[in-house]
Amino acid sequence: MFGYHVPAPDQAMLISGGKGGSGETPFRVVTGHGSFVLPFFRKVRYLTLAMCEAEVGEACVTKQGIALNVRAVIAFKVGNDEESIVNAGQRFLSDQDQMSVLTGRIFAGHLRSIVGSMTVEEIVTERQKLATEVLDGSKAEMAKIGLTVDSLQIQSIDDMKLGYIAAMAAPHNAAIQRQAQIAQAQANQAAAEAEQESQRRQAEYARQTAVVQAQYKAEVDRAQAAASQAGPLAQAQAQREVIAMQTELAQREAELRQQQLVAEVVKPADAEAERVRILAQAEAEKMRIQAEAAASHNRVALDRMLIDQLPQIVKEAAGGLAGANVNILNGADGLGELASGLVGQGLAILDSVKKGLSDKPSTPELTERDGSR
């Protein structure tokens, strides 16, 4: 808007041409906000509130009369209060770069004064004390011109090649070097001891490794020997087991063969022998009956006929038993008993027939019929 002005955040706006600000200030100070300025009747100027820097390099003489070149850096700015802004505006508004020049001169004077009251040892070892005393000495003068100091740093202190500072530091350097040498010697000794310890450990490790390897090799050899022995032993054991099983199998086969021979050869042979014996007995009985019949007067033909029929009777009886389910319990003896029973049955039949015929009266017809037979 025309006639309205706003200062930057790091600026103070100074309005002149009208009534002054509060008190006896010749202009109105505006910061942090804008203000309407009547054109042609009022004039607006800006004063920086930003941080500024001034460097000081001054040759100073110490309390011992030793010349030192001291370099320092001062960080300063215009104060934030209205009084400081007015003081700085009245002095530096037209040439604000003069703030750094004037600040450097003020601090140079105070630096010479403070250094002249201290020794080189104090200046070198107590730089913060030097900076604090310079700040305290310049604070009042800086406030008069509206400036405040944020910090003062002593950058360097040089004896301009007189060698005083170096000589002052020599004992400390020597002590430090001795300590460094001692520390280096201790470090070397520790390194040598560590190396010896490492070599000892390596030797011990190598020895233990050799022992372990020897034990492992011995175990491997024993295992291999046991394995090499276990093979033949296991093979021999397996062969013994095979032989034992083969022997048992042969025994079982022999027993089965024996049972087969008994069933196929012995028992049939015994049965055949018994059959032959029975037939022989029957034949002998036949002969006996024939002899008795020959001796008889009236029954010769009949007895002869019966005797001729006796083997057939026994055979028929035996044939009748062939289809029967007969169990022979005692082998050949049982078979003999069975055959004897058959013969006995045949004889009993023969006796029955004889008895029946003897009870009937003999007639010429019967004698003739029998004779014809």
- 266 pLDDT band, cuts 50/70/90, is confident
Binned at pLDDT 50, 70 and 90, residue 92 comes out as: very high
Tell me the per-residue pLDDT of 208-222, one tens digit each, with 9 for 90 and over.
888 888 888 888 888
Q: Model confidence over 15-25: pLDDT tens digits?
A: 887 665 555 67
User: Comparing C-alpha atoms, which of 150, 131, 14, 136 is closest to residue 77?
Assistant: 150
What b/e sequence results for 314-325 when a residue is b if at least 16 CB atoms lie within 10 Å of its CB, and e otherwise?
A: beebbeeeeeee
Residue 298 has pLDDT above 70, yes or no: no
In this predicted structure, which of 25-29, 102-106, 127-131, 357-361 has the lowest mean pLDDT?
357-361
Q: Which of 108-112, 227-231, 260-264, 335-339 is predicted least confidently?
A: 335-339
Share of the chain above pLDDT 70, in %: 75
Identity of the amino acid at 39:
P
Pairwise CA distance, residues 37 & 51, whole Å: 28
* Burial profile 112-134: b = 16 or more Cβ within 10 angstroms, e = fewer: eebbeebebeebbeebeebbebb
Say how many residues make up the chain: 373
Residue 218 tokens read as 């011995």
Return the pLDDT at 198. 86
**How many angstroms separate the CA atoms of 299 and 177, rounded?**
170
Nearest to 32 by CA among 4, 48, 9, 5: 9
pLDDT at residue 368 in the model: 40
Reference 35, options 4, 1, 12; nearest CA is 4
Q: Which helix (H) or strand (E) holds 170?
A: helix 164-261
In order, the DSSP letters of 68-129 are: EEEEEEEEEEE-SSHHHHHHHHHHHSS-TTHHHHHHHHHHHHHHHHHHHTS-HHHHHH-HHH
Position 246 pLDDT exceeds 70: yes
Higher pLDDT, 238 or 28: 28
Report pTM: 0.45
pLDDT at site 324: 47
Strand order in the sheet with 11-16: 28-30, 11-16, 43-48
What's the token pair of residue 123? 């200046």
Which band of pLDDT confidence, cut at 50, 70 and 90, is reported for residue 366? very low
Band (362; pLDDT cuts 50, 70, 90):
very low
343 or 369, higher pLDDT: 343
Compute the distance between CA of residue 7 and CA of residue 14 in angstroms, rounded to an integer. 9
Secondary structure (3-state) at 64: coil
Q: What is the pLDDT of residues 181-199, one digit of tens each?
A: 898 898 888 888 888 988 9
304-326 average pLDDT score: 59
